[in-house]
């Protein structure tokens, strides 16, 4: 089975390289395109929010088919006319992965192409080449054209390269997912154990400062990953303008998604972005609030949060 997967992946890679020239040059007005980025820490509820936004509003987005072609995705989107596809009406995922070719994708291979990395995912504007900025604009323009709607992106690694994104797409605005840090850490640790076991290698988002924490315990690494991610977001908020950032509490969204979608609408309008409404969400979502970590693990997490969380950290009320 693994050999068949490898063969299929190689075949897709060959098609991707062959189709790449068909994307064409980026259009000159593309910098003015409105773009909405969902950002925040891993396990902050971003996939559920993304699914809700594309079900209930007309957004352009990268789906699971286009994301398989990181070099030629713009051409694939045009050839397959993705904007005419039925939108997925489901709200389930597995660590950011969704079902079906039309499901929203994090587009990991595409973002790795735009922001190549070795030891960390942080990118400064001066380290973002013009040709890759143009490639990003080309993809955004193509998807926006196909859907006839503003572009919505959800890849949380972008949380630590917002100033570089601003270089390519200066009209971007940002929805920041907020959730209890201990619950985010708990879910991130469970995913880490599932993917890499007890290894002390870094997993998931890698802010530049994580190079100072190689070999530390998974608990401390996870806490620093989250703290440094939100530090980066707060620095970008100060530098790019707070009016471009909207804080979305995950628990509040789950309790009343329709109300929060309408607040996001108002934020978009205030920033010159108009989105067509498609449907409403009548029922709340369930949100995990139960801690499964040991008291020692919680104490270790909170020790780091008290040291590094931007704006200070205070324990939130959760079901212990």
Residue 287 has pLDDT above 90, yes or no: no
pLDDT-based confidence at residue 4 (cuts at 50, 70, 90): very low
Q: Half-sphere exposure of 68 toward its Cβ, with a 13 Å CA cutoff?
A: 16
pLDDT (0 to 100) of residue 305: 97
Number of Cβ within 10 Å of residue 148's Cβ equals 10
Q: What is the mean pLDDT of residues 206-229?
A: 96
29 pLDDT tier (thresholds 50, 70, 90): very low
Is the pLDDT confidence value at 133 over 90? Answer: yes
pLDDT higher than 70, residue 27: no
Residue 248: the pLDDT is 97
* % of the chain residues with pLDDT over 90: 73
DSSP letters along 164-203, please?
HHHHH-TTEEEEEEE--HHHHHHHHHHHHHHHHTT--S--
Question: What pTM does this model have?
Answer: 0.91
Question: Does the pLDDT value for residue 8 go beyond 80?
Answer: no
Q: Roughly what angle, to the nearest 10 degrees, separates helices 295-308 and 218-240? A: 30
* Confidence at residue 75, expressed as pLDDT on a 0 to 100 scale: 87
Task: Give yes or no for residue 54 having a pLDDT over 90.
Answer: yes
Section 140-152 average pLDDT: 93
Coil, strand or helix at 127: helix
> Going from the N-terminus, what domains does the chain have, and what CATH number goes with each?
15-24+31-308 (3.40.50.300)
The arithmetic mean of pLDDT across residues 287-314, rounded, is 93
**Range name among 86-90, 113-117, 149-153, 262-266 with the lowest pLDDT average:** 86-90
For residues 67-79, average pLDDT: 89
Over residues 278-298, the mean pLDDT reads 93
Provide mean pLDDT across the span 218-228. 97
Q: With a cut of 60, say whether residue 74 has pLDDT above it.
A: yes
Q: Identify whether the C-beta of residue 52 lies closer than 8 Å to the C-beta of residue 175.
A: no
State the Cα–Cα distance between residues 215 and 283, nearest whole angstrom: 44
Q: Output the average pLDDT for the chain.
A: 89
Most confident of 3-7, 26-30, 272-276, 303-307: 303-307
Q: Is the pLDDT of residue 217 over 50?
A: yes
- How many helices and strands (H and E) does the chain possess? 11, 4
Q: How confident is the model at residue 18 (pLDDT cuts 50, 70, 90)?
A: low
pLDDT in tens, 174-214: 999 999 999 999 999 999 998 888 788 888 999 999 999 99
Q: How confident is the model at residue 95 (pLDDT cuts 50, 70, 90)?
A: confident
Specify whether the CB–CB gap between 66 and 82 falls below 8 A.
Answer: yes
Taking the C-alpha atoms of residue 217 and residue 208, their distance in angstroms, rounded to an integer, is 18
């Amino acid at each position: 089975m693994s050999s068949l997967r490898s063969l299929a992946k190689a075949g897709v890679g060959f098609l991707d390289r062959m189709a790449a020239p068909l994307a064409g040059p980026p259009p000159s007005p593309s910098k003015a395109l409105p773009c909405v980025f969902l950002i925040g820490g891993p396990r902050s509820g971003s996939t559920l929010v993304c699914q809700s936004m594309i079900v209930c509003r007309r957004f352009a987005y990268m789906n699971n088919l286009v994301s398989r072609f990181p070099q030629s995705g713009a051409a694939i989107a045009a050839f397959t006319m993705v904007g005419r596809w039925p939108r997925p009406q489901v709200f389930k995922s597995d660590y950011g992965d969704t079902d079906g070719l039309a499901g929203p994708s994090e587009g990991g291979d595409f973002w790795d192409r735009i922001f190549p990395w070795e030891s960390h995912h942080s990118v400064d504007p001066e380290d973002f080449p013009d040709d890759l900025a143009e490639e990003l604009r080309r993809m955004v323009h193509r998807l926006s054209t196909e859907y006839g709607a503003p572009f919505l992106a959800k890849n949380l690694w972008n949380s630590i390269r917002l100033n570089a994104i601003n270089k390519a797409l200066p009209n971007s605005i940002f929805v920041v997912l907020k959730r209890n840090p201990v619950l985010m850490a708990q879910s991130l640790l469970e995913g880490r154990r599932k993917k890499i076991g007890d290894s002390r290698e870094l997993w998931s988002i890698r802010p530049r400062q994580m190079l100072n924490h190689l070999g530390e315990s998974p608990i401390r690494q996870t806490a620093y990953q989250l703290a440094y991610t939100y530090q980066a977001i707060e620095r970008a908020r100060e530098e790019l303008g707070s009016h471009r950032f909207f804080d979305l509490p995950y628990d509040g969204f789950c309790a009343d998604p329709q109300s929060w979608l309408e607040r996001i609408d108002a934020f978009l309008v205030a920033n010159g972005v108009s989105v067509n409404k498609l449907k409403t969400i009548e029922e709340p979502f369930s949100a995990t609030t139960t801690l499964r970590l040991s008291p020692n693990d919680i104490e270790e997490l909170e020790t780091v949060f008290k040291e590094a969380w931007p704006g200070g950290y205070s324990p939130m009320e959760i079901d212990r």
